[in-house]
Structure 1
C-alpha cells in the first residue's frame, strides 16, 4: 500500500454508537472481569445470540482490579472482535462489532451501583474470569465497599439478591466461572459458602444458596490475544475504516463447555446461538481432551522447539523437524490414549477432529503465541498433563512412546540452570548461532539446579544417574517413571545427544524425514 494513501488511524472516526447505532437489550448478565478472553468468548456468544433473537440480553461488566473504565466509556462499550486463521483448511476472516455490553463499572468506585443491580429481576446469570488465582478463600467481611477478593464480591452480590427477593426461588442465579482451573464452579461455590459462614449470613441464605444458585463448572478454549502490534493495528484500522482501541484479535476455534441440567440450559438460552457451546451434566471428556491433546502437546514440544531457537507456536509448527515432531507426537502417541468412556459414541471421532483443529490452530499466522509464556511452571504442567498419558500409552501398546521421551529429555535440558541471580535461575540456549540466556520460571528450578550440579554431561553414566533419579521421584510425578520399560534409558540417550551434538541435530537424528 502506498504510504501516501494511508489515512493515519488516529484521524479516523472512533468506534461508538454515533458511528454504529445500536439498541441495548435488558441487562441479564453480570460479568466480573474485563479481559480479552471474556470479550472473545462469552461476550461474543451473547452478542451472537442477541443478533439471532435467541437471548435478548446485555452484560454489565465489573472491573474488579484497580484502574479506569474510560477506554470502554469512550467507545460506548463497543469493540471489534477480529477473527483470523484457518479452519479445516479454509481461511477465516471475520470482523464483528460486539454490542452486548451495556455498562462497565469499576468495583472500587461504583460498588453501591453494582449492588443495586441485585434489584433487577432480569439479571440471573453471572460470569467471571479473574485469573487462576481469583478463586481463593480470603477471610474478609463482605460488607466492605468493595470486598477485596472476587468470591467476597460475589457473595456480597448474591446476599443482596437474596435480601431483595426475600429468598425467592424465582430469583435463582446461574454462576459460571471461566477461570482455568479444574472444577472451577465447585471451588467457587465452596469458597462462597465459607464466606457466608464467616460473615454469619444465616441459615436461610445458606439454604437459598444451596437450592437456587447453580455454580457450573466450565471449560473455555479459545486463544484471544487482544490488540495486535502497531503495524497490524494500523492495517486493520484501514480495513475497518474506524479506530477501535479495544480491538480484540482471536482465532476461529472456540469452545465453551458448561456443566448443567435442563434448568441451566433454559436459563442460558444464548447457548442456542452456537454449536460450540456445550451444556452437559458431565464435561470431563472435553476437559480431558483439551488437557491431553492441546496442553499436553504444548508441554512436550515447546521446550524442544524453544531450545532449537523458536519463539512462537507458529514458528514451532512451520519448522521442518518440529512440525513433524508435533504432528507425530499428537496423532500417534497422545490421541490414542485419551479416555473415551465419558463419551463412548462420539469419543474417538471427536478426539481425532479436535486434534486436527489443534494443528490448524498451531499453524495460525495471525496469532502470536509466545513460547516463553507457555514455558512457565513446566514441571507442574508435565505432571498434570503428561504423566498419565505416558502411563496410558504403555498400558495400551506395551512399548516406549518415543516422541514423549524426546520431549521429556528436552524438558530436562530446558530446566538446566547455568546461572543464578537472586531468586532467578537462568538457562542457556543456542539460537541463530548465538548463546542466549532465559529465565526458568518454575517452582522446581532450584531442585533441578542442585541435581544438575552433580552431572558431568560428557559422562553417559552421570547423565543416566541424573535421569533415573528424576524419573524415580514419586514426589515430583506421583508415579515412578523409571519403572516404565526403556523410558529412562531412552531419555538418557536423547539427553546425552542433546548436550553433545546439539538439540536440533539430535531432533533431526531421531526424527528422520
Structure 2
C-alpha cells in the first residue's frame, strides 16, 4: 500500500498560499514541516505548490503520493534520544514548468498566493545572461521568478495587496539581496515597465535567511524496516534531526503573518542575520573543521565518538567555549546555549557522521570557519588561542597523508596538495624543519588571504604543537595543550 490521500485518513486540503522552488529533502524536512505545523497548531490554513526548478527532478514522484510524505525526526530531544514519524500534508501539488509552463504561470494568478520559498542550491541564485522573458521556462531560478512576478503584477494591475514575501533558503551570504539584485537586472535587461519595478520595491519583500538542520535525506539503508513499521510504502520519506533554526531578516508584517515562534518553533525574526550566521559558521562549522584532524589522527573515525571521548571531547568543548565564543558578539548565555545544542547534535546516536566526510577541502574550510576566530581572539585578548592553533598544527600534520601506517585519502585543491607535499618532502625530523614546514604553509596567501606568519605568535604556537604531534604522537601531544 502506497501513501496517498486515499490511504491517509487525516488528509486535508488547504488554499494554495506558498510557491516553493525546490522539491528536495531539505525543504520538505525544514520549511514544509514548519508550514505543516502552522496548519496543525496555528491558523495558517494554507498549502504549498512545489515548482521543480530544473529539467530533471522529483515532482512526478511527489504527485504520485498526492504531495504526502513521512518525516522521520531522529536525535536528542529534551536530553533523550527520540525517533518520531509524522505524515506531512502541506503540499497540494508539484509542477514541472518544463512540461506545463501554463500551470506554473497560473499560480501567479491566484489572489491568495503570498509567499515564495526556494532552495535551489548555492548555484541556483545566479544570473544567466542568455535567459529571455519569452522562454518557457527560462533557465535560471531568478529568471523564472522574474517572469512569475511580472505576470502577477500584470494580472492584478499592480495591486499593492497582491505583493509577495520572497524568502530564499539557499546557503549563500545575503541570499535575498542577491536574488533581488538579479531580478532587477532581468527587469532592466528585458525592458519591463517601470511600474513593475516600483511594485516589486513597494509591494514585495525579500528576506535574507539562515537555515540550520541536518537532513540525511532518504533513509535507504533502513527503508525495509521503516516500511514494515509504518505499514505503507513511502518513496518520499525524509529523515532529519530534531534541531532546527530559521533566522529571517524580514519586515514586521511577516512575523505577524507567519507566527512560527508562537507554536514553539525555533524561528527568529531579526533585523540582521549576520551575527547568527557568524555564530553558526564559527561554532558549528568551525568546531567540525577544528575537530577533524585532531580526532582522526587520535584514531577516531566519527563525530559522535569524538565529542564523547574523554580527551578529544574535552579538547573541542574547551575550544568552543574558551576560544570561539569570546570572539562573537551575541549575548554569552545565548551563545553557550547554541554551543551546547551543537555538542548534543554532534552526539546524535542516529547519525554516523564520518570525520573523513568532513575532511574534504580542509584548508579553505579552515580559512573561512576557524581562522576568523583565531584572528579575532588575538585582536580582542592579545594572545593566540592555543587549542585552535593546535588544530591548525593538526591540519598540517593530517596533510602529511598518514595515520600510523594507514594512508589518508587527501582531497583538496590541487595547489594545496602540491604545497603540503612539497613542504613535508623537506622535513628531516628536526624542530627547525618543522618550523620550515609551518612557515611555508602559513605563507600560502592564496588560501589564507594573508601571510599568517605576520600574525604575532601564531607561527611559534603552531610550530610548538606540530613538533609535539610529530615527536609524541597525537594522543600525547593533545594532553600538553
Does the TM-score normalized on the shorter chain lie above 0.5? yes
Question: What secondary structure, in the 3-state scheme, does the structure 2 residue paired with 1:225 have?
Answer: coil
Q: Aligned residue for 1:414?
A: 398
Q: Give CA-to-partner distance per residue, 1:316-373, whole Å, 9 cap, x none.
A: 3233432222212112211222113xxxxxx111101000110000000112333334
Q: Aligned residue for 1:448?
A: 419
Structure 2 residue 29 is the aligned partner of structure 1 residue 40? yes
Q: Aligned residue for 2:319?
A: 329
Distance of aligned partners of 1:98 and 1:444 in 2 relative to their CA distance in 1, 3 Å threshold:
farther
Q: Aligned residue for 2:371?
A: 387
Q: Aligned residue for 1:177?
A: 168
Among 440, 453, 459, the alignment partner of 1:469 is 440
Question: What secondary structure, in the 3-state scheme, does the structure 2 residue paired with 1:256 have?
Answer: strand
Distance of aligned partners of 1:198 and 1:307 in 2 relative to their CA distance in 1, 3 Å threshold:
farther
Q: Aligned residue for 2:244?
A: 254
- Count of residue pairs the alignment pairs up: 478
Q: Which moves more between the two structures, 363-372 or 446-455?
A: 446-455
Instruction: Output the TM-score relative to the length of structure 1.
Output: 0.87
Q: Aligned residue for 1:71?
A: 61
1:317-396 to structure 2, matched below 5 A, reads 317-340=307-330, 347-396=331-380
Offset at residue 270 of structure 1 (A): 4.8
Q: Aligned residue for 2:480?
A: 510
Q: Aligned residue for 1:167?
A: 158
Q: Give CA-to-partner distance per residue, 1:187-229, whole Å, 9 cap, x none.
A: 1111111122122213222222222221100000110111224
Structure 2 residue 8 is the aligned partner of structure 1 residue 15? no
Offset at residue 82 of structure 1 (A): 1.1
Q: Give CA-to-partner distance per residue, 1:135-179, whole Å, 9 cap, x none.
A: 111112132111111111111111111111112211111111111
Distance in 2, matches of 1:68 and 1:91, equals 31
Among 31, 42, 48, the alignment partner of 1:59 is 48
Q: Give CA-to-partner distance per residue, 1:395-436, whole Å, 9 cap, x none.
A: 3333331110111112223344xxxxxxxxxxx332xx7523
In angstroms, what is the RMSD of aligned CA positions? 2.2
Distance of aligned partners of 1:222 and 1:443 in 2 relative to their CA distance in 1, 3 Å threshold:
farther
Equivalent residues of 1:88, 1:360 under 8 A apart: no
Q: Which moves more between the two structures, 268-277 or 190-199?
A: 268-277
Q: Aligned residue for 2:225?
A: 235
Instruction: Output the TM-score relative to the length of structure 2.
Output: 0.93
* Structure 1 unpaired stretches of 5+: 1-12, 341-346, 417-427
Q: Aligned residue for 1:419?
A: none
Q: Aligned residue for 2:303?
A: 313
Offset at residue 88 of structure 1 (A): 4.7
Distance in 1, matches of 2:296 and 2:94, equals 40
Q: Aligned residue for 2:458?
A: 487
Distance in 1, matches of 2:316 and 2:197, equals 49
Distance in 2, matches of 1:160 and 1:358, equals 44
